[in-house]
Structure 1
């Protein structure tokens, strides 16, 4: 097939040398029929893989009934979705803004906290990633994304060190902090998992100082870490949760979910979207939430433990491996060398993986991935890293 993408699409993505034609469950196939074990999951979107009958039926049925309706009109699909979502979020989280992308959910959250608080500053974390629209980029840490746009970003933003208790003292010393934006598990930053006591202290300080606590669960939520929400690992409840990626089952969708005392401060017209909460996305979202059972989420936790144990077996005593880490099916291998040769070799061997920075291989596989595929993927990953290690030490 002739390739028009490189000619016509803006050069804003790091492209992989693979042309995906179709997918089924947790496997993808290229135009030549080559099979890949999918450890990318569409960057965490494909939580139910690529052939989920319930999502397909929900979308197709909704297309026949009503494919599009603005949020100014009431629809059965949206009504059903928000009721199901209300049953899925923590107690006290009871108002939603429906959007299309994770970054849009963050933008809405920024408006909510700015409108709700009489204070001005936003606090985010080192190695944070919240998106690339201007508000979201303002609280995203990496300079490679920010450097050419710094003059148009939000100015009152302060970054503190992730998982560093000393920096929490800064929150108590500054009475102009409106909100803290926090990833319970950092995704783009490298699958960084904070200490239990650190998160508990962070939440206590925000409550004590009337600082709104925003949990960015766009990547870590919806069962990804082996709990419905990653913040549940730390026995806390945020004031606002941002939700995205898998919520639409492959259809673009996001949610800013918060306590009504904050969300109700947005007035009519201050935040809206032409396609936010559209019937097709809502139908897909309902199908997703109906399938996120406790048994499934517990299985995600077990699969993650199994996968990491297999990786550790494959990578035992490989000196270029610094750490294998993760929660549920949100996993990473941190190397002491650049990941690129390994990533390319994995593609050749039939495994598609993600990355973070220059030395971290990141994996967000679909929840429906089989134990056999997890075992096979861990063996291939171990083989590729071992082979590269032998090249490095020559």
Structure 2
């Protein structure tokens, strides 16, 4: 039904409230148009987007090359079901992914989302190993369908649901800030955190392990960066038990951490690598990629997707990779190092900032109540209320900032990778103002 009215923020919100099922709406900015790092609402307000649609528009909103690639393919054909009729965009993207992914990862399956990529990766691991059990991490996030919810280590996403992937257990995340106050070296902490996975195998499984799935940097968990050596040891543990390592790079992939895939920074070639979000810069596409040896465990009929490998989204993904490799990756690494240094200063200047951490343009600011002891007495209590108030204050200053973490107290810097240092500087100034003014009002 068409409506003859001038859309406004209010009318769009009314339509959502009346006709769209309740959804996560903590970033309540009705979007009329977006360009690069700037979003405009229906009332003419502009916002600097420092969240890029949950880490999706990595090469900028409305990137010309990506839009043109999609339009050109639209003029040819829109759908042929890539698993029934082969097409050039799918063939070229699969070949390109084989070239840019680490090590011997060679064959890809295309789907529509990160959740589908994760569930498909688990199916492949089960088929290849002949085993069924999967280990995931506490506070990890792998999607919201029933299978992926079983992998997700947070009751906030599971409440009222009944995950069906029953052969799943969880191990502690390598979250040092809330794990220990001991003066451990990075190597010592990596060994201790990895040993917890061995403990879980010994106590919570029947040693019928198909896969260990981890995010190289945990996104929804609060931008948790593992210590060097941890990911490699986790893969060794998986192999010792006849299992595979699945690196869930849905959020960390396609340049987010300063390399095309975060696994590269930990010198690990995962057995299966899942992708989505930034892969096509906002068009719906997911994939999981494995070596030929692992991938060939799938036989005809084992897995399929009607819309997976849509030629329009695959054309957009090819253009996205081109854009990333044309200077954006290098800029992301440099801007990420600069931003990390600036956030370290913020941490030093405010006692309500417990820790700042991240890789590339995936940085987190953990807000705390320094007057209250946190879980297990390891660090100050997480302050969800403060994080929400700071994010609201930033929106009032024209900055869109994500909030996440297991305790919902981590501000998330995950902007389009095309963001400039001046725009980051503006965000940092706004962050300092927001923290100062919000804490002054308490």
TM-score, scaled to structure 1: 0.95
Match of 2:401 among 353, 376, 381: 353
- Please state whether the residue corresponding to 2:131 is helix, strand or coil: coil
Within 5 Å, give how 1:1-394 maps onto structure 2: 1=7, 2-3=11-12, 4-71=15-82, 72-150=84-162, 152-163=163-174, 164-170=193-199, 173=202, 175-293=207-325, 295-336=327-368, 337-338=383-384, 339-356=387-404, 357-392=407-442
1:172 Cα deviation after fit: 6.2
1:315 Cα deviation after fit: 4.9
1:257 Cα deviation after fit: 0.5
Q: Distance in 2 between matches of 1:171 and 1:264?
A: 30
Classify 1:13/1:171 alpha carbon distance in 2 versus 1 (closer, same or farther; 3 Å).
closer
C-alpha RMSD over aligned residues: 1.6
1:358 Cα deviation after fit: 2.2
Q: Distance in 1 between matches of 2:95 and 2:229?
A: 34
1:314 Cα deviation after fit: 4.2
Q: Distance in 1 between matches of 2:194 and 2:98?
A: 33
- Residues 265-306 of structure 1 deviation map (CA, whole Å, 9 limit, x = unaligned): 222222111111011011001101122217421211111122
- Residues 212-259 of structure 1 deviation map (CA, whole Å, 9 limit, x = unaligned): 100000000111101111111111111000000011121100001112
Asked if the contact 2:171–2:200 (Cα under 8 Å) also holds between the matched residues in 1, the reply is no
1:30 Cα deviation after fit: 1.4
Q: Distance in 1 between matches of 2:225 and 2:109?
A: 28
- Please state whether the residue corresponding to 1:232 is helix, strand or coil: helix
> Which shifted more, 128-137 or 157-166?
157-166
Q: Distance in 2 between matches of 1:311 and 1:153?
A: 41
- Please state whether the residue corresponding to 1:31 is helix, strand or coil: coil
Structure 1: stretches of 5+ with no match in the other structure: none
> Which shifted more, 24-33 or 182-191?
24-33
TM-score, scaled to structure 2: 0.85
Q: Distance in 2 between matches of 1:15 and 1:200?
A: 36
Asked if the contact 1:185–1:191 (Cα under 8 Å) also holds between the matched residues in 2, the reply is yes
Asked if the contact 2:235–2:244 (Cα under 8 Å) also holds between the matched residues in 1, the reply is no
Q: Distance in 2 between matches of 1:294 and 1:187?
A: 26
